[in-house]
Chain A
Amino acid sequence: METKENVLLNIKDLHVWYRVYGGYLKVLNGVHLMVREGERVGLVGETGCGKTTTMKSILQILPPGDFHIPQGQIFYKGQDVLKMSFGELQRLRSREIAMIFQDPTAALNPVFTIGAQIGDVIKYSIALEEKKVHKEKIKTLSARALKEAYLPDPERMLVNYPLQLSGGMRQRVCIAMSISSKRNLLIADEPGTSLDVTIQDQILRLLKEIVEKKGTSIILITHSLGVAREMTDRIYVMYAGTIVETAPAKTLFKNPLHPYTKGLFASVPKISGGGIAKGIPGRIPDYLNPPSGCRFHPRCEHASQICMEKPPQLFEIEKDHSVACYLAQR
């Protein structure tokens, strides 16, 4: 699975803890994730399982507070993000990776114009190379980015404020900001989930087009299996801060191995002759005192003694298909 060639991003055994009153929320408990050049990766999991935290750790933009990374490494192009200097981090954010937030309304500063915000993104990206940046150039580039995201009348859009735009347009603005300069990896956090379905569809198609046109890699976070199937080459399934299974999309849909993945597939209601879908009993664990061993064991009907003692590691079952489960490994 881990071929050295073309590996862009390689998250290894990432643990992230968040300090709250009474202890630590041990959100991420050993996340492994890899993205190659040009690859489209899907990250699937229910709300609260740590997908966004993982992504934010890559860019080191976890919200201010007490975050603790006891172990783990995040390699981007061979360099550990967690050990980067400020300058290197800035370069990473301006030139290499961009994240499109889940809620576009929250992601845009309400008291600044679109032009100001996207302009600043471009300005500081260019400033890494050139000494002086011309306002005209920024404006042109901003308008161009907006146009690539299919926003109408880009020139006028620059002087508008976020509140004047619809939800779909705001999402496009966020996308425009992400593609305003050439980047190698896009992270799309549940794009369009806060919008209605038709708009969501447009947004997803836009992302697809961008990725195809520019050859950018993308990590698509979603809790919808349908979206993952359509848009991704490889899928990582996440539960409670751990990657439980990963496989190329087709393989995963044909042969899910982890009980959680199987449960996810079973939860999707089928319109043709399926009846009421079966959910997964229980809820996501308490991160303050997470279950010992495999974090899924309280909800797993196949749980055995070893599941409660030792957390299972990802083990390659067949080519390119790894599962973190003792059951599957038997």
Chain B
Amino acid sequence: MKLGSFLLRRLLLSILVIIGLSIVIFIIARVVPGDPARMALGPRAPEDVVQRLRQEMYLDKPLPEQYFYWIKGVFSGDFGRSLVTKRPVLEDIKEYLPATMELAIFAGILMAVFAILLGTLAARFRDTWVDSLIRILSYFGVAIPAFVAAIIFMLLFGYLWPVLPALGRISPGISPPVTITGMLSLDSLIQGNFGAFWDSLKHLLLPAVALSLGGLFQEARITRSSMVDNMHKDFLSAERGYGIPERVVMFKYLLKPSLIPTVSVMGLDFASLLGNAFLVEMIFNWPGISRYGISAMLHKDLNAISAVIIVFGAVFVVVNIFVDVIVALLDPRIRLSTARGT
């Protein structure tokens, strides 16, 4: 139907947004007082070496030109060199990004599944103790920041009852799988290395739960209220009245419209997932791009910082498009009214 043009519009808009983002980042990066060339080489490098580097980095050219060179580099994958690791930022990204993606995706799945589950339960048993319990849990779940949850989990499960490993992605002594996607759990599953798979899941669990907590409960509340709203709608009575069995009415005709608000929120929640990943990775010593980004920020590693932000921006934009597509699939009203430019 109109899905194709809808998708295209979103895509074009997103590209525009990313370009704008890159400009903003570039301005920010150049705003910092201090001399990037000198910072790269250190205080003891001789002046002429620094001057040469300045010319290489186009620091003497006007800003728009600098931007142009930088963007050109970005498109060919060249983000420059990291001050900290001393190697091309692109390589750093390639190494660390999959770990964060694995964490974020796992947390996202946890969030979605449990939010829908809890929300449906709360709606089904509304005004009973089940509902009240879930509501109280949501208040806390939303109020506990991810890094606080992370620390509490570390304390509880890492030290008090060490049932789950607290640090890193995989235990020493387990042979890691060959890198295909970079996501340990996926790779080990593909290769049938179930020992590694199980182990990596255990490592994933704590940080993923810590990350997903806030969004999970918020989405559960939204699911619940949306289901309760829809429960009273006439079309359900009508469908029942025409002889459609109850289970079909519940799981097909009630569920689909109720999920729309939830899925819409999931995009935003995924953003906070990514943002919180920064802190959670630090706590769990998870070798992801967020941890890399934080160290870049603390060391004022401009190239790395810009690259990380662009990468996150791009990931977030892609996720948003994905979420928008799903919402459009669920709710025809959206894709049919876009044509009118509402």
- Whether A and B touch directly in their complex, counting CB atoms under 8 A apart, is answered as yes
Report the bound CA distance from A65 to B302 in whole Å. Answer: 60
Of the candidate stretches A116-124, A222-230, A264-272, A289-297, the one touching chain B is A116-124
Proximity string of chain A (81-100) to chain B, C-beta cutoff 8 Å, 1 when within and 0 when not: 00000100011111100110
B244 and A124 contact, CB distance less than 8 A: yes
Report the bound CA distance from A313 to B188 in whole Å. Answer: 79
Proximity string of chain B (226-240) to chain A, C-beta cutoff 8 Å, 1 when within and 0 when not: 000001111111111
Question: What residues of A have a CB within 8 angstroms of the CB of B246 in the complex?
Answer: 86
Question: What residues of A have a CB within 8 angstroms of the CB of B237 in the complex?
Answer: 56, 61-63, 101
Q: How far is the CB of B67 from chain A (nearest CB, A)?
A: 45
Residue of B232, B238, B332 touching A107 (CB-CB under 8 A): B238
Report the bound CA distance from A161 to B236 in whole Å. Answer: 16
Q: Which of A40-94 contact B (CB under 8 A)?
A: 56, 59, 61-65, 86, 90-94
Q: Which of B314-330 contact A (CB under 8 A)?
A: 330
A109 and B243 contact, CB distance less than 8 A: no
A112 and B241 contact, CB distance less than 8 A: no
Q: Does A103 contact B (CB under 8 A)?
A: yes
Question: What residues of A have a CB within 8 angstroms of the CB of B234 in the complex?
Answer: 101, 103, 106-107
Residue of A93, A106, A110 touching B242 (CB-CB under 8 A): A93
Q: Which residue of A lies closest to B335 (CB)?
A: A161
Given contacts A103-B234, A107-B235, contact A93 B241 (CB under 8 A): yes
Report the bound CA distance from A107 to B330 in whole Å. Answer: 19
A106 and B235 contact, CB distance less than 8 A: yes
Q: Does A198 contact B (CB under 8 A)?
A: no
Interface residues on A, range: 35 or more
Q: Which of A231-254 contact B (CB under 8 A)?
A: none
Interface residues on chain B, number (Cβ under 8 Å)? 26
B242 and A94 contact, CB distance less than 8 A: yes
Report the bound CA distance from A159 to B78 in whole Å. Answer: 49
Report the bound CA distance from A64 to B236 in whole Å. Answer: 10
Report the bound CA distance from A92 to B241 in whole Å. Answer: 9
Q: Does B245 contact A (CB under 8 A)?
A: yes
Q: Does A1 contact B (CB under 8 A)?
A: no
Question: What residues of B have a CB within 8 angstroms of the CB of A107 in the complex?
Answer: 234-235, 238
Q: Does B331 contact A (CB under 8 A)?
A: yes
Q: Which residue of A lies closest to B330 (CB)?
A: A111
Report the bound CA distance from A280 to B238 in whole Å. Answer: 33
Report the bound CA distance from A163 to B246 in whole Å. Answer: 25
Q: Does B61 contact A (CB under 8 A)?
A: no
A121 and B235 contact, CB distance less than 8 A: no
Q: Does B333 contact A (CB under 8 A)?
A: yes
Question: What residues of B have a CB within 8 angstroms of the CB of A305 in the complex?
Answer: none
Q: Does A193 contact B (CB under 8 A)?
A: no
Q: Which of B193-234 contact A (CB under 8 A)?
A: 231-234
Q: Which residue of A lies closest to B257 (CB)?
A: A111
A94 and B243 contact, CB distance less than 8 A: yes
Q: Does A3 contact B (CB under 8 A)?
A: no
A93 and B240 contact, CB distance less than 8 A: yes
Given contacts A109-B257, A111-B256, A163-B332, contact A99 B241 (CB under 8 A): yes
A177 and B242 contact, CB distance less than 8 A: yes
B240 and A61 contact, CB distance less than 8 A: yes
Interface residues of chain A: helix, strand, loop or mixed (majority): helix
Given contacts A93-B243, A161-B332, contact A124 B238 (CB under 8 A): no
Given contacts A56-B237, A63-B232, A112-B253, contact A124 B243 (CB under 8 A): yes
Q: Which residue of A lies closest to B237 (CB)?
A: A61
B242 and A121 contact, CB distance less than 8 A: yes
Proximity string of chain A (27-43) to chain B, C-beta cutoff 8 Å, 1 when within and 0 when not: 00000000000000000
A112 and B256 contact, CB distance less than 8 A: yes
Question: What residues of B have a CB within 8 angstroms of the CB of A86 in the complex?
Answer: 246
Question: What residues of B have a CB within 8 angstroms of the CB of A220 in the complex?
Answer: none
Q: Which of B231-283 contact A (CB under 8 A)?
A: 231-246, 248, 253, 256-257, 260
Question: What residues of A have a CB within 8 angstroms of the CB of B231 in the complex?
Answer: 64
Q: How far is the CB of A111 from chain B (nearest CB, A)?
A: 5
B245 and A124 contact, CB distance less than 8 A: yes
Q: Does A125 contact B (CB under 8 A)?
A: yes
Q: Which residue of A lies closest to B126 (CB)?
A: A64
A111 and B232 contact, CB distance less than 8 A: no
Question: What residues of B have a CB within 8 angstroms of the CB of A92 in the complex?
Answer: 243
B232 and A64 contact, CB distance less than 8 A: yes
Report the bound CA distance from A62 to B240 in whole Å. Answer: 10
Residue of A61, A64, A103, A111 touching B241 (CB-CB under 8 A): A61
Q: Which residue of B lies closest to A102 (CB)?
A: B234
Q: Does A108 contact B (CB under 8 A)?
A: yes
Report the bound CA distance from A112 to B234 in whole Å. Answer: 14
B257 and A121 contact, CB distance less than 8 A: no
Most buried by A among B231, B234, B238, B256: B238
Q: Does B336 contact A (CB under 8 A)?
A: yes
Question: What residues of A have a CB within 8 angstroms of the CB of B256 in the complex?
Answer: 111-112
B232 and A120 contact, CB distance less than 8 A: no
Question: What residues of A have a CB within 8 angstroms of the CB of B260 in the complex?
Answer: 111
A98 and B336 contact, CB distance less than 8 A: no
Q: How far is the CB of A18 from chain B (nearest CB, A)?
A: 13
Given contacts A163-B332, A164-B336, contact A90 B257 (CB under 8 A): no
Report the bound CA distance from A98 to B243 in whole Å. Answer: 9
B239 and A109 contact, CB distance less than 8 A: yes
Report the bound CA distance from A95 to B331 in whole Å. Answer: 31
Most buried by B among A59, A106, A120: A120
Q: How far is the CB of A202 from chain B (nearest CB, A)?
A: 21
Residue of B238, B245, B257, B336 touching A163 (CB-CB under 8 A): B336
Chain A interfacial positions (CB closer than 8 Å to B): 56, 59, 61-65, 86, 90-95, 98-99, 101, 103, 106-113, 117, 120-121, 124-125, 161, 163-164, 174, 177-178
Q: Which 3 A-B pairs have the closest CB atoms?
A: A94-B243, A93-B243, A106-B234
Besides A99-B241, A107-B234, 14 other A-B contacts (C-beta < 8 A): A56-B237, A90-B245, A94-B243, A98-B241, A103-B234, A109-B235, A109-B239, A110-B333, A112-B253, A121-B244, A124-B243, A124-B244, A161-B333, A161-B336
